[in-house]
């Protein structure tokens, strides 16, 4: 039969659950591990050398780490496959169960269990705050955790039958949401023409995906043939150039460059989702060079 004599007892100590740096725009799940160490002690002579230990973790599932009103969903599991949530008998879920046995030549035994944490995938709009890496946390302890113990000789008690807590254990779950950006672009293709007696116009798209709340800017360099103020496409195989320029606006009033020579960088704030920015290109009327294909390569750089 279970025996809760004061001469024997068990206690638990939990490590922090740290997910480290997390980039929500990756859409990926993030896993980590922690542990709970349980120590049970007996008198030198005892009729109940076995201890059934149940580690209860209350609260709802999935769990949330928070920063102010902002939330980052995750959960804590008993297995590496993240299939069995760590729960509590008080909420009708499954606590961690383990058995410790008094050593023949000692009075205490210690056993450690691994806790498996996983941040849920597809949370791209979780924000950073103040345009800086932001710590999200959830604290456990007090009424949220309990170690329930039953000492016995034969026939281990079930966790459901061990309703009296013999202690609590505190720990924190933390993650740092970092500012991060992805960038991609489409080509800008001007229509074929015989002479450059009038302007040619075309558009392209630059797509940025940045952490929600992350201020960013996008610079375009001068290409391989010219400068930000005087861009040029060159003829494949050599023998001619075509002047052109790139703009931030459809009115072609703000040249898009790196912030030098009268040009301006594009600026915005991330939402966690993809944001498309239009690049407006124009080839002004000019002397027509030799026929052929004219190209330039522009590098777009995102800073955040």
Asked if residue 288 and residue 202 are part of one domain, the reply reads yes
Q: 125, 158, 177 — which closes off a domain?
A: 177
Closest CA to 55 of 112, 97, 15, 85: 97
Asked if residue 119 and residue 83 are part of one domain, the reply reads yes
Residues whose CB falls within 8 Å of the CB of residue 180, separated by 6 or more in sequence, listed in order? 23, 25, 26, 210, 211, 214, 304
Note the pLDDT of residue 1. 41
Note the pLDDT of residue 141. 86
- Does a structural domain hold residue 1? no
Closest CA to 36 of 62, 9, 8, 55: 55
- Does a structural domain hold residue 2? no
Asked if residue 139 and residue 28 are part of one domain, the reply reads yes
Q: 177, 208, 230 — which closes off a domain?
A: 177
Asked if residue 139 and residue 165 are part of one domain, the reply reads yes
Cα separations in angstroms, 246 against 193, 199, 221, 279: 19, 13, 11, 7
Report the DSSP beta bridge partners of residue 279. 204
* CATH number of 15's domain: 2.60.40
- Does a structural domain hold residue 4? no
Three-state DSSP class for 95? coil
Asked if residue 21 and residue 143 are part of one domain, the reply reads yes
* CATH number of 245's domain: 2.60.40.1090
Note the pLDDT of residue 6. 53
Asked if residue 23 and residue 146 are part of one domain, the reply reads yes
Rounded distance, CA 24 to CA 273, Å? 10
Q: 145, 177, 209 — which closes off a domain?
A: 177
Q: What is the DSSP letter of 25?
A: G
Asked if residue 267 and residue 240 are part of one domain, the reply reads yes
Percent of residues in the chain assigned helix, strand, coil, to nearest 5: 5, 50, 45
Write out the chain's pLDDT in tens, 304 residues. 444 445 899 999 999 999 999 999 999 999 999 999 999 999 999 999 999 999 999 989 999 999 999 999 999 999 999 999 999 999 999 999 999 999 999 999 999 999 999 999 999 999 999 999 999 999 998 889 999 999 999 999 999 999 999 999 999 999 999 999 999 999 999 999 999 999 999 999 999 999 999 999 999 999 999 999 999 999 999 889 999 999 999 999 999 999 999 999 999 999 999 999 999 999 999 999 999 999 999 999 999 9
Asked if residue 14 and residue 138 are part of one domain, the reply reads yes
Q: How many Cβ atoms are within 10 Å of 258's Cβ, its own excluded?
A: 18
Domain span at 241:
181-303
- Does a structural domain hold residue 160? yes
Rounded distance, CA 271 to CA 278, Å? 17
Asked if residue 155 and residue 77 are part of one domain, the reply reads yes
Note the pLDDT of residue 4. 44
Rounded distance, CA 282 to CA 294, Å? 14
- Does a structural domain hold residue 248? yes
Asked if residue 138 and residue 56 are part of one domain, the reply reads yes
- Does a structural domain hold residue 57? yes
- Does a structural domain hold residue 3? no
Asked if residue 166 and residue 263 are part of one domain, the reply reads no
- Does a structural domain hold residue 120? yes
Rounded distance, CA 29 to CA 158, Å? 34
Asked if residue 250 and residue 193 are part of one domain, the reply reads yes
Q: How many Cβ atoms are within 10 Å of 62's Cβ, its own excluded?
A: 14
Residues whose CB falls within 8 Å of the CB of residue 175, separated by 6 or more in sequence, listed in order? 18, 19, 20, 21, 22, 30, 65, 72, 74, 119, 135, 136, 137
Number of domains the chain is built from: 2
């Amino acid at each position: 039969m279970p025996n809760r004599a004061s001469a024997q007892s068990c206690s638990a100590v939990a490590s922090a659950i740290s997910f480290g740096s997390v980039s929500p725009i990756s859409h990926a799940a993030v896993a980590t591990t922690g542990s709970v160490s349980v120590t049970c002690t007996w008198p030198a002579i005892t009729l109940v050398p076995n201890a059934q230990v149940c580690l209860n973790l209350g609260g709802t599932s999935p769990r949330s780490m928070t920063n102010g009103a902002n939330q980052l969903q995750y959960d804590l599991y008993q297995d590496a496959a993240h299939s069995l949530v760590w729960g509590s008998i008080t909420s009708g879920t499954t606590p961690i169960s383990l058995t410790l046995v008094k050593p023949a030549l000692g009075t205490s035994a210690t056993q450690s269990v691994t806790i498996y944490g996983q941040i849920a995938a597809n949370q791209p709009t979780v924000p950073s705050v103040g345009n800086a890496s932001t710590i999200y946390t959830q604290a456990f302890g007090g009424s949220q955790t309990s170690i329930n113990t039953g000492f016995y000789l034969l026939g281990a008690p079930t966790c459901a039958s061990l309703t009296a807590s013999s202690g609590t254990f505190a720990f924190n779950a933390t993650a740092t949401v970092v500012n991060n950006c992805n960038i991609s672009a489409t080509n800008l293709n001007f229509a074929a023409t015989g002479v450059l007696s009038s302007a040619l116009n075309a558009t392209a798209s630059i797509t940025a995906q940045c952490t929600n709340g992350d201020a960013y800017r996008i610079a375009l360099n001068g290409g391989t043939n010219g400068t930000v103020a005087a861009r040029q496409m060159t003829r494949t195989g050599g023998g001619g150039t075509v002047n052109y320029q790139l703009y931030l606006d459809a009115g072609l009033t703000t040249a898009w460059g790196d912030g030098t020579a009268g040009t301006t960088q594009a600026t915005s704030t991330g939402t966690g989702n993809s944001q498309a920015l239009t690049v407006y290109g124009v080839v002004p009327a000019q002397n027509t060079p030799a026929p052929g294909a004219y190209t330039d390569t522009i590098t777009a750089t995102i800073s955040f």
